[in-house]
Chain A
Amino acid sequence: MKLQAQTLACERGGRQLFQGLEFTLTGGEAMLVTGRNGAGKTSLLRIICGFIEPTCGRIRLHDRPEACSIGQLCHYVAHEDAIKSALTVRENITFWARFFGAGDVEAGLAAFGLGPLAACNAGLLSCGQKRKLTLSRLKLVNRAIWLLDEPATGLDATAQHRLCRHMTHHLAAGGIVIAASHTQLDAPFTVTLNINDLSAGMT
């Protein structure tokens, strides 16, 4: 599997965010995307999973494992938590497990140690616990590409360590990880992409 970006350019609201962005990632490689606020990190992730059309260039996936779109091979962890506060932790996880198709609820609960909170109302969770609940989707079903947008926000040291361990396992299994983060993550990133260098009209 090979994920390739060719001369990507992105424009949001009439402002050119970046242009000439290129990278190639094969299975087992991880890329850390850095850049100042508003540089286009989130936009890049959203281009990869197909929500935004780039103004120029394209994303290609060679040797895809299944015949489906790139988005359907992605786990996208966005800023929004996609948690229903009226449901319990287990019900939230069970829904996404069923929606993504035959997901492993217990593996999801265990991924960030949410087992003891399973019967708890998700609305009562703290910010960091909500983040854990969001991230536990990563372990529900196996998807080849992980797109993580500021995954470590609100996580304590133990949870950050767990996240990095999950990322390492995913890479060892031949997956691809692309993470946008300001904080230093301990995962074995093979490539670092600084979007600041690609922004148009910046001195």
Chain B
Amino acid sequence: MFTAIIARDIRLILRQGGGAGMSLGFVLTVIVMIPLGIGPDHEVLSQIAPGIMWIALLLSVLLSADRIFRADYEDGSLELMGLGVLPLELVVLAKAVVHWLTSALPLSLTTPLFGIFLNLDPSLFSTLGLAMITGSATLSLMGCVGGAVTLGLRRGGLVISILILPLYVPILVFGLSASVGSMGADHVFNTSFLMLIAFALASVVLCPVAAAGILRAHFR
């Protein structure tokens, strides 16, 4: 049942578009714009590169968070899923997994490569990628909560940004520190990275419960 939702949603995204391709396109445009706006100073670009990548990741995850539940809510599928043998919490988790697989994960894997545009230190590719993969799991799960809250709103995407972006701050801080920490003291990478894992594990437990509770309120 859990895998049925994942398989169907991935198939839908492959057929309708709006998945990884769109997020990658968005990040690519953002990252290409930065050197144009800031100027071609290699030193400056290299310094801000990890931060820009993280912000691009946050924004693109938010862009698609609005769509996690919307289609299923509008055509009545989500309600029926509320009557399944599978608890609604696990339905939410399946949706989060799909969102992570189709928007956050491809970005996390490829964004360090975009770093070439920003003169990113090649030694950071692996740590940045790893931190992004871990951090983006939390981003997707929190995005589910945002997507659930704004279901009834027509322009939900904008409201999600205001609601959820502040909650992304810890991920941004620890993620950035985990990404660049390996340049300096070695232990910084470890602690920050462990914090990212802790956030991910906590949100796997908490976010589905929160989002499912919100969805039940929407069914009323």
Contacts and interface: CB of A to CB of B under 8 A. Distances in A.
Interface in B40-83: 71, 74-77, 79-83
B76 A78 contact: yes
Contacts of A84: 8, 12, 71, 75, 77
Contact of A80 (B76, B86, B216): B76
Contacts of B79: 51, 76, 78, 80, 82
A49 B76 contact: no
Given A80-B76, A84-B12, A53 B220 contact: yes
Given A52-B220, A87-B8, A72 B85 contact: yes
Given A53-B220, A91-B11, A82 B80 contact: yes
Identify whether the interface residues of A are mostly helix, strand, loop, or mixed.
loop
Q: Contact residue range for chain A?
A: 20 to 34
A99 B9 CA distance: 13
Interface in A59-106: 68, 71-72, 74, 76, 78-84, 86-87, 91, 95-96, 98-101
A153 to B, nearest CB: 14
A86 B12 contact: yes
A83 B75 CA distance: 7
Contacts of B82: 51, 71
Q: Chain A CB within 10 Å — which of B5, B11, B76 has the most?
A: B76
A181 to B, nearest CB: 18
B220 A51 contact: yes
Contact of A71 (B15, B76, B83): B83
B83 A72 contact: yes
A96 B11 CA distance: 15
Name the 6 nearest CB pairs between A and B, nearest first: A80-B76, A98-B4, A51-B219, A82-B76, A82-B77, A86-B15
Interface of A: 46, 49, 51-53, 68, 71-72, 74, 76, 78-84, 86-87, 91, 95-96, 98-101
27 contacts: A49-B83, A52-B219, A53-B220, A68-B85, A72-B83, A72-B84, A74-B83, A76-B80, A76-B83, A78-B76, A79-B76, A80-B74, A80-B75, A82-B75, A82-B77, A82-B79, A82-B80, A84-B71, A84-B75, A87-B12, A91-B8, A95-B4, A98-B4, A99-B1, A99-B4, A99-B84, A100-B1
